[in-house]
Amino acid sequence: MSHDTQSKLVYMANQIATFFKTQPESEAAQGVATHINKFWEPRMRRQLFEIMEREGNGLSPLVVQAAPMIKRPEPAASAN
């Protein structure tokens, strides 16, 4: 995954979190997860989880809080 792709995904996830920050705290993380589950294709979600595993990834704390509710896609099939 290129640095540019990673930056775009972090930006997009943080924008979603910014929107849902206006919701009641009990609903904000669920809103982020629901949006990502509904609108992000599996490849994007897979890359998001890869980003989350890195220190200093730049993700909003609300995105990190939503992570357990985001559907983790199957690993990418290797091209052998």
Q: Name the nearest CA neighbour of 37 among 4, 58, 68.
A: 68
Structural domain contains residue 78: no
Instruction: Report the pLDDT value the prediction gives residue 18, as an integer from 0 to 100.
Output: 97
Structural domain contains residue 35: yes
Structural domain contains residue 74: no
The domain total for the chain is: 1
Structural domain contains residue 79: no
Q: Rounded to whole angstroms, how far apart are CA atoms 77 and 38?
A: 22
pTM summary value: 0.88
In terms of residue numbers, what domain contains 37? 3-69
Structural domain contains residue 63: yes
18-72 residue pLDDT tens? 999 999 988 999 999 999 999 999 999 999 999 999 989 999 999 999 999 999 9
Structural domain contains residue 50: yes
Instruction: Report the pLDDT value the prediction gives residue 60, as an integer from 0 to 100.
Output: 97
Structural domain contains residue 23: yes
Structural domain contains residue 7: yes
